[in-house]
Amino acid sequence: MESSWYPIAVFFAAVFTNNILLTNYLGMCSFLSVAKDLKASVGLGIAVTFVMATTTVLNWMVYNLILEPFGLEYLRFIVFIIVIAAFVQLVEMIIERVSEGLYAALGIFLPLITVNCAILGVSLFMVIRDYGLITSLFFGFGSGIGWFLAILSMAGILQKLKKARIPKGLEGAGITLIITGIMALAFMGFSGMLQIG
């Protein structure tokens, strides 16, 4: 059923038409709190992309090679979150030892990622949509890039907005949500390009 272009299509769909943040609302918490700061947004974006791509593949293996053969699908929530937490912890320790500069740039974001719902969400979508291994890799990577793209554009827009006059009640989360809504509208323009369920 999967043609060789399918993973590529899934990748583009995950970045543009089915953007994990703008159409599935995942990762909003960290999005709202971090987007104020452009530099932090870049750091978090890179960290999310990396963790998302790797944990999706890891969770695919765990799900298809361990949970399914033993009929333990109902444990997937608990197992996925353990895999993600353990992996993030491991990456944090490795980065701390290997590169101090990288640790200073990304280190503080890694613990945040364990509770980023987008990471778990991508793994759960992968199970629901029944993706293969390669497709899962592209899907995880694409979702990460899509999230990165969204937070980066938002951080850029918020920089400009610092000088704007915003109604008092809308300051902070309110205006961010409205801009996210407009961004979601803009991204809906891509939806004619591809349709991936």
Partner 1 sequence: MAKGVVKKTFLKPLGKDNPVFVQILGICSTLAVTNKLENTVVMSMGVLFTTALSGFTLSLIRRFIPGRIRMMVETMVIATYVIIVDIVLRAFYPDIWQQLGPYVGLIITNCIIMGRAEAFALNNPPGLSLVDGISTGIGYSYVLIIIAFFRELLGTGQLWNVQIFGDWWTNWSIMVMPPGAFFMLAIFIWIVKGAVIKEEQ
- Mark the segment that binds partner 1 (CB under 8 A) among 42-50, 100-108, 141-149, 183-191: 183-191
Q: Position 171: which residue type?
A: E
15, 77, 83, 119 from 89: Cα distances, Å: 27, 18, 10, 14
* CB nearer partner 1, residue 160 or residue 168: 168
String marking each residue 105-144 x if it binds partner 1 according to CB under 8 A: ---------xxxx--xx--xx--x----------------
Which residues in the 22-41 window bind partner 1 by CB under 8 A?
22-29, 32
Asked if 144 contacts 50 with a C-beta cutoff of 8 angstroms, the reply is yes
Answer yes or no whether residue 74 interacts with partner 1 by CB under 8 A: yes
DSSP codes, 76-116: HHHHHHHHHHHHHHHHHHHHHHH-HHHHHHHGGGHHHHHT-
Q: Which of 90, 133, 178, 194 binds partner 1 (CB under 8 A)?
A: 178
- Pick the binder of partner 1 from 185, 189, 193, 195 (CB under 8 A): 185
Q: How many residues bind partner 1 (CB under 8 A)?
A: 41
**Minimum CB distance to partner 1, residue 120 (Å):** 5
Counting contacts by CB under 8 A, is residue 182 touching partner 1?
Answer: yes
- What tokens appear for 179 in the block? 């801009």
Burial class (CB in 10 A: 0-12, 13-18, 19+), 193: exposed
Q: Quote the CA–CA distance of 78 and 80 in Å, as a whole number.
A: 6
Q: Which residues bind partner 1 (CB under 8 A)?
A: 22-29, 32, 74-78, 81, 85, 114-117, 120-121, 124-125, 128, 167-170, 172-175, 177-178, 180-182, 184-185, 188
